[in-house]
Amino acid sequence: MVNVFISYARKDSADESLRLYTDIRARGIRAWRDQRIDPTADFTGEIENAINEATHVIVVVTSDLKRADSFVRLEIGYALMQKKPIIPLVFPGGHRPIVIINHTYINFADWDAGLALLVRRLNNPNAEEIDPQSQRDHEIAYLQTIGQKYDHWRDLYTDMAATARLEEQKVKLKPATARTIEMRHAFHQHINHSLDAEKGVTVKTENLDELLEGLRNHRRVALIGDPGAGKTTTLERLAYEYASAAAEETAEPYHRPLPLFVRLGAYTGEDFTQFLEVGFGGLHLREYLPKRVVLLLDGLNEMPPAHHTKLEAWLRSHRDVAVIVSCRKLDYVERKLPLQRVDLQPLDLERIRLFMSNYLEDEDRDTLFWALAGYDARRAWTWYQQVAKDATYREFFTGEDKPGPNWIPELILLDKLRQSLREQHTLPDMLGVVTNPFLLQIVIEIFALSGEPPRSKGDLFGRFVALLLEERGKTAVRPDRAWINEATQNRALAALAYRMQSDQTGTSVNADFVLAAFRQAVPEADATLLLYFAVSARILEQTDTVRFNHQLLQEYFVAYEMDEDLRRGVPASKYFPSDEWWTATGWEEPALLLAGVRGEATQVAEWLTPVQPDLAYRVATESGAACANSALKPLYEPAPGARRSPYAVAEWGRLNHEHDRRPGVGLRPDGLPDLAWCDVPAGKFLYGQDTQEREITYNFKIAKYPVTFVQFQAFIDSGEYDDPRWWAGMPDAYQRQPMAEQYNPYRNHPRDSVSWYQAVAFSRWLDAKYRAAGLIGKDVEIRLPLEWEWEYAARGSDGREYPWGDGYRVGHANLNEQEQGVGPYFLCRTTAVGNYPQGESPFGVRDMAGTIWEWCLNDYLGALLVEYYNIYAVKVVRGGAFTDDQRYARPAYCGYDSPSTSADAFGVRLVVSVPVASLISGE
């Protein structure tokens, strides 16, 4: 019984297909038509079943069928695979695609006539393809074969069929997408055989149309690229495009060339013209030379060298024949053919995403894309989405906007990423590895199999290398080149990478260096064969030197060797021997990869913590491998005298901010701020940048820490913030000055964004509350410090340059060490108070260098001018902030600002000292 599947384009033939469906069924013929309400839903399985059950497939040919993403083309491809009779119904403006150009069509310009002919064909079917009679018929039949063979709309089915390991995929690959991508190319203006694709004058093309235009101008070219760069795919696409163009000619004389795709690896030395003619579909090649054929010769590097001269001789004797020869870059250097060179360019950021989109749904694409982009890029992207309106990934990578202050850590990461992309064309992290289509394909397959993005680079590279050896290495086996087991190859590559790192050779070495490393590591294996398989697998690249395909691959194998040291109990000080342990040694990235190689970060972090706690913390939190809390505890809360990671300690302060029970950080049981005081005895000290000696004749107390967020919030939440007593004497405009939002809203961080007026109001409120509670005596008051009190508490009596002594010491304060190159740290935010015990002053006071500027009571131009609150005179600030370099953190440095300023880097520290009024009257 006749059962018809109707294939149509929803965009411009929905009405025609519905009418056709109705008319056919009215004549007693069963029909199936896609009637999805949601055209974006995945309907593939039902469509495939309907085609399988159909006796005929009717294709409604309208102009929309030309679209590259037309679903009809996919249905045609599947029907051809199932060998279903196909009847094209050509409507005005429609053109049959090349894959069915040899099928007998029905003209539907007249509906009734077309329908009558269709019904007769269905009830009395004849041969569905034209039996070639004329020369042109034979050409059309050949061109249809080319179209069906290289139609990328069929790649969906052939890819899924050929990739058996994806049967158990956890991430669903798109079942209805053309797996194509517009590759970029660089046309060399002069014949060029160098290894450098950019050497000489080149013209870049961005898509297939531009490539075809370039080929019209340069009829004889060599298509050059790395293994897996897309050379064969490009030739197949060209074959399809040339065949489509040739098939569209409808009248003699025919001028457009017919494509002839040939794999050079199959050549065995016979007459070269006869070799070519075998693949020409029964046509006689000599009748089409030189103008009506374009030769697409794939794999010059796969052609036996002994036959190379025959190809070159043929090309020289047929100078007018259009020819495109593909070859690996390395091999083309040695096979200098008289051809214009075209280099396949690596995938850029846009093409990587498009490539992923061809296989993955948007959500899965984004998951994988950002996993490959790396920790820093993900962190910056998460922030950017929050602060930039309608953020897009293009704006993120290529924009020039700066949505926030320059010191925001995520903005700093973004600026570095953009600069690297703009100036060095360097993609972040693993995105730089997958600029090769083959390697990106492998990563997508790994993602589809595992159902989750790579947990770590080490884990991904382990599977990545295994697939490279399986899919590229093993295919290079020859009768005289027997396979070497993977474990041996891995050991050899690890030894090579480790020696390159140890000897600081850079990323390239000569072949003798490689062979020597291999022989020393695995003397039982043939070093030359090891090199051969590593190059074949695209783990190594060999030109006049040898290098790993990507530096991350080299570092992965270094980690492989580093793992042996960890197992043997070799201390991490072997890699980080300096007392200046924060200084980069080049072993950092392998250590991060090591956690992924091992599948867990705990032992690696514990191994590194005594020696390099910064790196240990990165391993524990950035490597992607699981890490036990037991390994994090000594990083969060280092033992006295142990090396400290400011990053880890700062993070612990944030994580623990609601449970920080240290005295002086939170609130008393009665809800008042619980300030811890440090005693400062009367004495002489060196004051100011001119180091004049000064004497303080009274004892006083100063808060151990700046006032914290939760402590200042007690004032705001008390219901007394607006009490006029606290604001007396201040300008009318700043009576009850509204508080700015806390920039770092953690209970144990300093209260930031405080103006001088607000600081004074807080001190008056706290003085009244402490006095009422009997916590201070009548002869003292709680207030802001005078600047000399502050400086004496920070410097002590010996005139030291910093609270801890003379000279800046790395990691002793929360400030911008990078600005002046004195250290590696710039945390870009405040930290929990007291985080830097090593930066403590002689009197036990903490955080007096960096973190946050602290208001002093007096005017900048007069140390005792404190009673004139309403004249807007600038006030003193001391200590520097996390945004500043070490020069501003010296206790002798005196800054100033308007008392109304509530910048995010301004905070409060209090003293219990003699009343200012008595000091003024004493003067």
What pLDDT, on the 0 to 100 scale, is given for residue 113?
A: 86
- Is the model's pLDDT at 175 over the cut of 70? no
Tell me the pLDDT band of 152, cut-offs 50, 70 and 90.
very low
**Both structure tokens of 264:** 């050079």
CB neighbours (10 Å) of residue 692?
A: 9
What pLDDT, on the 0 to 100 scale, is given for residue 776?
A: 95
Tell me the pLDDT band of 599, cut-offs 50, 70 and 90.
confident
Nearest residue to 659 (alpha-carbon basis) of 747, 750, 752: 747
Q: Whole-model pTM?
A: 0.66
**Both structure tokens of 638:** 């280092």
What percent of the chain clears pLDDT 70, i.e. is strictly above it?
Answer: 89
Using CB atoms within 10 A of its CB, is residue 312 exposed (0-12), middle (13-18) or buried (19+)? middle
The region of weakest confidence among 593-597, 678-682, 707-711, 790-794 is: 593-597
Return the higher-pLDDT residue of 315 and 213: 315
**Both structure tokens of 778:** 């009548």
- Is the model's pLDDT at 153 over the cut of 60? no
- Is the model's pLDDT at 158 over the cut of 50? no
Give ∠ CA 659-816-856 in degrees, rounded to 5: 70
Tell me the pLDDT band of 224, cut-offs 50, 70 and 90.
confident
**Residue 300 vs residues 517, 536, 784, 915: alpha-carbon distances, Å:** 31, 15, 81, 92
Tell me the pLDDT band of 681, cut-offs 50, 70 and 90.
very high
**Residue 104 vs residues 60, 75, 139, 219: alpha-carbon distances, Å:** 13, 18, 16, 35
- Is the model's pLDDT at 103 over the cut of 90? no
Cα torsion 488, 489, 490, 495: sign: positive
The region of weakest confidence among 13-27, 202-216, 571-585 is: 202-216
CB neighbours (10 Å) of residue 860?
A: 17
What pLDDT, on the 0 to 100 scale, is given for residue 426?
A: 83
Nearest residue to 749 (alpha-carbon basis) of 648, 811, 658, 685: 658
- Is the model's pLDDT at 806 over the cut of 90? yes
886 touches 912 (CB < 8 A): no
What pLDDT, on the 0 to 100 scale, is given for residue 867?
A: 58
666: helix, strand or coil = coil
What pLDDT, on the 0 to 100 scale, is given for residue 401?
A: 84
Which residues, in sequence order, are bridge partners of residue 326?
223
Tell me the pLDDT band of 193, cut-offs 50, 70 and 90.
very low
- Is the model's pLDDT at 357 over the cut of 80? yes
- Is the model's pLDDT at 122 over the cut of 60? yes
**Both structure tokens of 747:** 């209970």
- Is the model's pLDDT at 188 over the cut of 50? no
Nearest residue to 866 (alpha-carbon basis) of 685, 706, 730, 724: 730
- Is the model's pLDDT at 148 over the cut of 80? no
What pLDDT, on the 0 to 100 scale, is given for residue 155?
A: 39
- Is the model's pLDDT at 131 over the cut of 70? no
- 871 Cβ contact partners less than 8 Å away, ≥ 6 residues apart: none
Q: What is the mean pLDDT of residues 407-414?
A: 85
What pLDDT, on the 0 to 100 scale, is given for residue 815?
A: 95
Residues for the chain: how many in total?
Answer: 923
Rounded Cα gap, residues 347 and 369, in angstroms? 14
78: helix, strand or coil = helix
Pairing of strands 875-878, 106-107: unpaired
What pLDDT, on the 0 to 100 scale, is given for residue 921?
A: 61
Which residues, in sequence order, are bridge partners of residue 221?
324, 340
Beta strands, E only, 299-439: 322-328, 340-344
Q: Give per-residue pLDDT as tens, 483-525.
A: 999 999 999 999 999 999 999 887 889 999 999 999 999 999 9
Q: What is the mean pLDDT of residues 819-829?
A: 90
Nearest residue to 545 (alpha-carbon basis) of 345, 230, 333, 709: 333
Proportion of the chain in helix, strand, coil states, percent, rounded to 5 = 45, 15, 40
Q: Give per-residue pLDDT as tens, 304-346.
A: 778 888 998 999 999 899 999 988 775 665 566 778 888 777 8
- Is the model's pLDDT at 363 over the cut of 50? yes
Range with top average pLDDT, 177-186, 326-335, 690-699: 690-699
What pLDDT, on the 0 to 100 scale, is given for residue 808?
A: 95
One DSSP character per residue, 698-748 reads S-EEEESSPPBHHHHHHHHHTT-TT-GGGGTTS-GGGTTPPPPPPSS--TT
Give the chain's end-to-end CA distance (angstroms, integer).
Answer: 116
445: helix, strand or coil = helix
HSE (side-chain half, CA atoms, 13 Å) at 486 = 15
- 102 Cβ contact partners less than 8 Å away, ≥ 6 residues apart: 129, 130, 140, 141, 144
- Is the model's pLDDT at 762 over the cut of 80? yes
**Both structure tokens of 405:** 């202050």
Tell me the pLDDT band of 654, cut-offs 50, 70 and 90.
very high
Q: What is the mean pLDDT of residues 244-258?
A: 88
- Is the model's pLDDT at 571 over the cut of 70? yes
Rounded Cα gap, residues 700 and 85, in angstroms? 100
Q: Give per-residue pLDDT as tens, 860-890.
A: 876 556 655 666 788 999 999 999 999 999 9
What pLDDT, on the 0 to 100 scale, is given for residue 317?
A: 92
Range with top average pLDDT, 202-206, 207-211, 435-439, 591-595: 591-595
- 527 Cβ contact partners less than 8 Å away, ≥ 6 residues apart: 492, 514, 515, 516, 518, 519
Tell me the pLDDT band of 160, cut-offs 50, 70 and 90.
very low
- Is the model's pLDDT at 184 over the cut of 50? no
Average pLDDT in the chain: 85
**Both structure tokens of 88:** 């094209």
CA gyration radius for the chain? 38
Tell me the pLDDT band of 79, cut-offs 50, 70 and 90.
confident
Pairing of strands 86-90, 875-878: unpaired
850: helix, strand or coil = strand
Which residues, in sequence order, are bridge partners of residue 677?
703
What pLDDT, on the 0 to 100 scale, is given for residue 208?
A: 66
